[in-house]
């Protein structure tokens, strides 16, 4: 009995101490297929995922996709939104989730994107189509804020990667 109690205390204290610090992760979110009016396709929409945690609590989550003119998913953009393909050196779509804006907010993320040379733009048509995708509920995308980012100015960080750095967290970088 004493052995079981000691083991239980050890497991509980180990769980309590585990992941009680700021951490970051990189990954991917994949949405398969799409539909626009009479067209449908099987290609995958692959987002790069950047996540910031305190222990097991998600503070901020960012999904990033570089929109390319040859992707079938560009059909989801309105004619006005498609103009960004000619105006921008690079055009990114992001989906951001902030669990606690007092820790990491959408404004903090937008500031980091500006440091990378990206200006934010509104993409309501694309956002509506993305949030209507059958897999959107699996990822709870209704809780995410969708934005477009247009790279018009040179990067001040001097790298081709997208680097995001929030205070007290390790800097995350993804290849574009």
Q: Kindly state the percentage of the chain with pLDDT values over 90.
A: 76
> What is the rounded (10 degree) CA torsion for 11, 14, 15, 20?
170
For residue 65, give the H/E element and its range: strand 57-66
Per-residue pLDDT, averaged over 159-173, amounts to: 91
Condensed to tens digits (0 to 9), the pLDDT of residues 82-92 reads 999 999 999 99
**pTM across the whole model:** 0.84
Q: Kindly state the percentage of the chain with pLDDT values over 70.
A: 85
């Amino acid at each position: 009995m004493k052995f079981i109690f000691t083991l239980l205390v050890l497991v509980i204290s180990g769980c309590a101490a585990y992941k009680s610090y700021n951490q970051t992760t990189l990954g991917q979110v994949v949405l398969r297929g799409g539909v626009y009016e009479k067209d449908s396709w099987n290609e995958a929409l692959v987002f790069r995922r950047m996540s910031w945690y305190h222990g097991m609590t998600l503070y901020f989550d960012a999904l990033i996709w570089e929109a390319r003119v040859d992707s079938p998913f560009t059909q989801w953009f309105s004619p006005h939104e498609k103009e960004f393909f000619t105006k921008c050196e690079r055009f990114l779509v992001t989906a951001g989730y902030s669990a606690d804006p007092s820790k990491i907010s959408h404004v903090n993320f937008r500031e980091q994107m500006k440091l990378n040379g990206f200006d934010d733009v509104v993409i309501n048509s694309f956002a509506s189509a993305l949030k209507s995708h059958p897999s959107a509920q699996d990822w709870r995308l209704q809780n995410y804020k969708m934005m477009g980012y247009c790279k018009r100015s040179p990067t001040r960080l001097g790298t081709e990667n997208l680097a995001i750095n929030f205070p007290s967290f390790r800097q995350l970088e993804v290849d574009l």
